[in-house]
Amino acid sequence: MSNWYSESSPLERRTFWASFGGWALDALDVQMFGLAIPALIAAFGISKADAGLLGSVTLFFGAFGGWLGGALGDRFGRVKALQITVATFALATFACAFAMTYTQLLILKAVQGLGFGAEWACGAVLMAEIIRPEHRGKALGSVQSAWAVGWGAAVLLSALVFTYAPTEIAWRLLFALGLLPALLIIFIRRGLKEPPRAIASEKTPFLATLSGIFHRDVLRATLIGGLFGIGAHGGYAALTTFLPTYLREVRHLSVLGSSGYLAVIIVAFFCGCLASGIISDRIGRRVNVAFFACACIITVLIYIFAPLTDGEMLVLGFPLGFFSAGIPASMAALFSELYPAGVRGTGVGFCYNFGRIVSAAFPFLVGFLSDHIGLGPAIGIDAAFAYSLVLIAVLLLPETRGKVFEQAAATRA
């Protein structure tokens, strides 16, 4: 990161840290749910399928949140939209701590999904439009690595809370900490500059902005980008939602033991995001994604189906986390480069989050299939199928590396 970062302007650096912080704290809120699943099952007396439905609802509403948040950014500005979305998912996560019934928790998870889906779309496009083209892949890959930071913080908090607090209230304490992202809003309001937007987007009705991505000029990008999103989110959701449960209930690891395995995957995810950004800027978006998709399929199948010892699983956790990071780390740059300025936020938000509408079924399917074929095989089959969709989609998309956006081109001219 140091080379491109040292060449960045003060505005680029401030925007980077605002986007990085928002995504890290977003990950903190979302990943706490996966770590709390066993406690939620016990607290509400629900099945694994019911627990999977909580994750599916979050992903489903995240799809609408991303589309809506991207359109808000196109219409009213990236920075203002980012403030609203961070507050939404932070407050919703905090409210989950006070849920008294399964239905209440289901509703709050839906609101959380709206917030974090919109947050990514606003932050990614803000960063894509501020950073210079030759560093776009590296910068946005570095922003995506913030997910590993938030994920790691969630694992540490989970280990501490569940070790020192009674199980019946530990999960509530964990969700209450979700209010922390709201503090980022204070930083977002200071020092950030709204990137230039097309004048037409400021006058276009909001509903027209939402539907603009289905215009014939960009329809192909929207359809293929949506398929890309299905595979990327489906694979990640199938793998990570029940991975803590798999390590504890199938591999019979303690909370602290499973945290060690997750730590290896999380560190690898961080490294994979940085590597994907560098590779993407050097050899192109398509080759980069195809490589990581193939590697994901092979690694997931080995991790789940091979008769590995605990030590071997620990070692294989690094390539599992590394390769699973490469796909999401490339999505912000790739999707941003597919759309013109007037619908860029809407397009990025839709493509990234549309996958959540369909991928919302993956956690539920893993929970359902686990009752018939076991949790491990259910995770492996679903994840491998999803990553295959990514491979198909990226082969149908154009190469966009180094694209100069309209605003930058006009400034240079």
Per residue in 234-279, pLDDT (tens digit) is 887 777 777 767 777 776 665 445 566 667 778 888 999 999 999 9
Cβ–Cβ under 8 Å, residues 188 and 79: yes
The model's pTM: 0.76
**Sign of the CA dihedral 246, 252, 256, 259?**
negative
How many C-beta neighbours within 10 Å does residue 32 have?
24
CA distance 350 to 341: 15
| Residue 99 phi, psi dihedral angles, 5° rounding | -65, 130
Mean local confidence (pLDDT), 322-327: 88
Q: What is the CA radius of gyration of the chain?
A: 20
- DSSP state letters, 115-145: HHHHHHHHHHHHHHHHS-GGGHHHHHHHHHT
Per-residue confidence (pLDDT) for residue 103, from 0 to 100: 92
358-372 pLDDT tens trace:
776 777 788 788 778
In the structure, what pLDDT confidence band is assigned to residue 200 with cuts at 50, 70 and 90? Answer: very low
Q: Quick one: which of 152, 372, 135, 100 has its CA closest to 267? A: 152
Helix (H) or strand (E) holding 38: helix 10-44
Q: Quick one: which of 239, 238, 255 has its CA closest to 154? A: 255
Q: Quick one: which of 133, 109, 98 has its CA closest to 4? A: 133
CA distance 299 to 289: 15
Task: Calculate the CA 262 to chain-centre distance.
Answer: 17
Q: Which amino acid is at 100?
A: M
Task: Calculate the CA 355 to chain-centre distance.
Answer: 11
Longest Cα pair distance anywhere in the chain, in angstroms? 64
Per-residue confidence (pLDDT) for residue 206, from 0 to 100: 63
In the structure, what pLDDT confidence band is assigned to residue 288 with cuts at 50, 70 and 90? Answer: very high
Cβ–Cβ under 8 Å, residues 40 and 178: no
Cβ–Cβ under 8 Å, residues 290 and 394: yes
Sort residue 77 into left (φ over 0), alpha (ψ -120 to 50) or beta: left
**Sign of the CA dihedral 164, 165, 171, 174?**
negative
Average pLDDT, the chain: 81
CATH pick for 9-191+209-402 out of 1.20.1250.20, 1.10.600.10, 3.40.50.1970, 3.40.50.10490? 1.20.1250.20
Per-residue confidence (pLDDT) for residue 413, from 0 to 100: 39
CA distance 89 to 190: 20
